[in-house]
Amino acid sequence: MYKSFRTGLLAAALVAATSLTAAAEVVYHRGNNADPETLDQHKTSTVYEGHILRDIYEGLTAFNAKGETVPGVAESWELSDDGTVYTFKLRDDAKWSNGDPVTAGDFVYSLRRIMNPETGAKYASILYPIKNAEAINSGKAKVEDLGVNAVDDHTLEITLEAATPYFLDLLTHQTGLPVHPASVEKYGTDFVKPENIVTNGAYVLAEFVPNSHVKVTKNPNFHDADDVAIDTVMFYPTEDQGAALRRFQAGELHSNNEAPAEQTKFMRETLGDQFRVAPYLGTYYYALNHKDEALKNPDVRRALSMAIDREFLAEEIWGAAMVAGYSFVPPGIGNYGEPAYADYKDMAQIDREDKAIELLEKAGYGPDNPLSLELRYNTSENNKNTAVAVADMWKPLGVNVSLVNTDTKTHYAYLREKGDFDVARAGWIGDYSDPQNFLFLVESDNDGFNYANYANPEYDKLMDDAAAETDLEKRAAILKQAEAIFMRDLPYIPMLYYGSRSLVSNKLHGWEDNLLNVHPSRYMSISE
């Protein structure tokens, strides 16, 4: 009898202890647009992959809660007088999740890996300012020629092709995050699997279940682990924004970095300050395939652009969470000034429509000889409503539109792999606040992002000239010339400037609205 009673007490104590442990764990349930295509930082290209990767890795520089560039693994740096050589001093307490020290050699290995053509990096071009990077990535030089050098374990030297005023911002991008060399050498491409991965950020990957969740848990070896309040982050793919809103209202999500534009009024009325709208450095556009027989004609491209009522899209389709866009580079970007707006920006919409009809008639199209186009978009209610509205706007011109939608992962893979299309929806969120980060997308050798198959030697030369120009005012003028050519040739039709629309629970603290819409989990906390 006594033994049974004592055994019962022990069992109860164990249950209580387990409950206390479970209660003490702080879990952040985070909606995140879509499933990552990859968690290999050297093969990534999307914003939603970046949210996860920057939680589990730390680069030389990093983002703070306000989206500002701050020291990461590098605690300080010096720049040569000519602006081409950075010398980074690495922090002594930087460690990998397995306890290994993070060294300058790890960054040399990582930067060589992303530039190695065999890696197949989608976005290696973001780091082309590094000396010989482009030549290596295009197979014209050896990886050993890359302008990176480990002076010692805690000193890294990076030499650039030319002065690059935004280089420290480039290093915050997920492509600048280091890999753990020993893990890559041992496991190859399988180094990203939860059972193999070694990371150096505030969290480490614990689970990746496609179409369900990505789970990351606190990294005790992170140099700032004592100040990381959240133990576990659960990232959920939330392509269906309406469903994400319902999950948020039910308390299943602490945040979601998108919100259904068609329910803006409802969210403002019912959620109050839990519905956050802020300026965002991005452009929503339609890519036009310049290899398409009809779309080769500049009059056709101009007509399609002029007929789009951007104010209607921004106000009625997107619920004023977007702004009508008449340039590819969004206004307010750094190192630039006013963008090169379309010359029809201030025309009345009815006059634009009349001119568009005239241009298509000149190209041989109209109601009696309609132009048939296929418009592809990635699945979301907002994208669907936009596509339907644009198809209606093009109908009076004698354009018949068929719509094709796929999930986000499939859509962008199709575009990158040069699948055949006429018109395709896409968007670009700035990785850093500089016009080059938008205009480089349609350089003729940018295979990964030049969805339009656009090739203009004059445009390419201007982009090269801008890259070599160290005077910021002269550089801005050159880039504006390039954007003017862009707006004339229209590889893409800019339609809207993004505004970020986020759902943020009152229980989640530390979320700060910013132009890049980056919100590292390490700076947040949760209260019940």
The predicted pLDDT at position 165 comes to 85
Instruction: Name, in order, each residue with C-beta under 8 angstroms of 330's C-beta and a sequence gap of 6 or more.
Output: 281, 282, 283, 339, 430, 438, 497, 498
- pLDDT of 6 over the 50 cut: no
Average pLDDT of the chain, as a whole number: 93
Residue bearing the bigger pLDDT, 8 or 438 = 438
Counted residue by residue, the chain has a size of 528
pLDDT (average), residues 481-495: 98
pLDDT (average), residues 448-460: 96
pLDDT in tens, 150-162: 999 999 999 999 9
CA 79 to chain centre: 28
Look at residue 76 and give its three-state secondary structure.
Answer: strand
Two tokens, residue 325: 């866009």
Q: How confident is the model at residue 319 (pLDDT cuts 50, 70, 90)?
A: confident
Domain with CATH 3.10.105.10 in the chain: 279-499
- pLDDT of 14 over the 60 cut: no
CATH of domain 28-234+505-526: 3.90.76.10
pLDDT (average), residues 88-103: 98
Query: Which amino acid type is present at position 105?
Result: G
- pLDDT of 183 over the 60 cut: yes
DSSP state of 118: G
Instruction: Name, in order, each residue with C-beta under 8 angstroms of 411's C-beta and a sequence gap of 6 or more.
Output: 376, 377, 378, 379, 405, 424, 425
Asked whether the CA dihedral 144, 149, 150, 154 is positive or negative, the reply is negative
The predicted pLDDT at position 23 comes to 53
- pLDDT of 423 over the 50 cut: yes
The share of the chain scoring above pLDDT 90, in percent, equals 85
The yes or no reply on domain 279-499 and CATH 3.10.105.10 is yes
C-alpha to C-alpha distance for 430 and 47, rounded to whole angstroms: 10
The predicted pLDDT at position 224 comes to 97
- pLDDT of 10 over the 60 cut: no
C-alpha to C-alpha distance for 431 and 69, rounded to whole angstroms: 12
**Number of Cα atoms under 13 Å in the Cβ half of residue 270:** 10
pTM above 0.85, yes or no: no
- pLDDT of 302 over the 70 cut: yes
The share of the chain scoring above pLDDT 70, in percent, equals 96
pLDDT in tens, 231-279: 999 999 999 999 999 999 999 999 999 998 889 889 999 999 999 988 8
The predicted pLDDT at position 97 comes to 98
Domain with CATH 3.90.76.10 in the chain: 28-234+505-526
The predicted pLDDT at position 471 comes to 86
pLDDT (average), residues 312-322: 91
Closest listed residue to residue 51, CA positions, set 246, 236, 252: 236
- pLDDT of 381 over the 90 cut: no
What DSSP element (H or E) covers 256?
strand 255-256
- pLDDT of 22 over the 80 cut: no
Closest listed residue to residue 323, CA positions, set 281, 351, 384, 275: 281
Residue 403 to residues 208, 264, 385, 391, 491: CA-CA distances in angstroms?
32, 25, 11, 9, 20
The predicted pLDDT at position 3 comes to 37
pLDDT in tens, 184-217: 999 999 999 999 999 999 999 999 999 999 999 9
